[in-house]
Amino acid sequence: MLNHRVAYLSWVDAFRKGVAKSGALLFHIDRHPDFSLGSLALLDDNDRIADDQERELEEFVKTKLSVLNYEFIVLSMYRGLIGDAISIHWEQDYDHLYGEYKKMTYGTTNRTEFLDRRDRLHTFYLAGSSIRELTGYQGLLTDTYTHQDVQRVFNKKSKEGNMILDVDLDFFTYVDSEGATWALNERNLNSILESDAFRFLLGNAKIMTIALEPFFCGNTTECRHILKALSTALTKRLSIDIEKTVIEEFDKELSEEN
């Protein structure tokens, strides 16, 4: 999708078609945590729309949610689509995270928690800023002594085939001191996308959603550079070539916006 908040509609669709099950684990890779809520009134609006009301859901996402794309994960948890989330992101804007912050202990991970309106507990794990450090020696998903809470939920949902890998291309960017943004160079991109950890995530995901977010990538040129590298990785690992169809849709949506 062009804008990340539209992932919410993709997850509803996957749930409706039986591809995802209620309480899926979200593995979120992004420049931003995307875990806030601008208004509690959104919860009431969210509750009033049923899963099969496609037109109403689309209108809700496109007109009520912030263009900054930070509310869709919380709302998907309230709907029951997502149970818990593990987030890899590098902008540390923790003052606005939804839920109650809980600091890591020896066997647990920094996280926020909240109960939804049906008293279901949801946890948003703050899993650091590096994909490559997820596996290997002292890796978040592989260390035998620490982060046992994250590993339990990851292993359980992976075994059940109920994990969504959600990637925002703006994760793969540099931002300078003046706020200018551009894509990682090819060597750094490939070091992440060809890492054991990224292959491990691809191998355990049932569903993958990808947000292009050209504005947060710097511009459309930077976005396409990242997309090409990701497409190459997916073709190599999963024999899925997304580049041509995604770019065609990308160009179409951009021309409609303009």
Q: What is the rounded distance in angstroms from the CA atom of residue 230 to the CA atom of residue 242?
A: 9
Percent of residues in the chain assigned helix, strand, coil, to nearest 5: 45, 20, 35
94 pLDDT above the threshold of 90: no
pLDDT value at position 58? 96
255 pLDDT above the threshold of 80: no
Q: What is the rounded distance in angstroms from the CA atom of residue 25 to the CA atom of residue 210?
A: 16
Share the mean pLDDT of the chain: 93
**Interval 178-202: pLDDT, tens:** 889 999 999 999 999 999 999 999 9
**Interval 196-250: pLDDT, tens:** 999 999 999 999 999 999 999 999 999 989 999 999 999 999 888 887 778 777 7
Rounded to an integer, the average pLDDT of 34-49 is: 96
pLDDT band at 57 (very low <50, low <70, confident <90, very high): very high
pLDDT value at position 257? 64
**Interval 73-83: pLDDT, tens:** 999 999 999 99
C-alpha distances in Å from residue 232, one per residue of 154, 169, 211 = 26, 14, 16
Tokens of 100: 């109650």
Tokens of 43: 């919860």
pLDDT band at 138 (very low <50, low <70, confident <90, very high): confident
**Interval 115-124: pLDDT, tens:** 999 999 999 9
Q: What is the rounded distance in angstroms from the CA atom of residue 171 to the CA atom of residue 152?
A: 25
Rounded to an integer, the average pLDDT of 134-148 is: 91
| 256 or 234, which is more confident | 234
pLDDT value at position 258? 54
pLDDT band at 175 (very low <50, low <70, confident <90, very high): very high
Sign of the torsion formed by the C-alpha atoms of 39, 84, 94 and 199 = negative
pLDDT value at position 244? 77
Rounded to an integer, the average pLDDT of 28-47 is: 96
68 pLDDT above the threshold of 70: yes
pLDDT value at position 95? 74
Q: What is the rounded distance in angstroms from the CA atom of residue 127 to the CA atom of residue 114?
A: 18
pLDDT value at position 253? 76
Q: What is the rounded distance in angstroms from the CA atom of residue 110 to the CA atom of residue 103?
A: 5
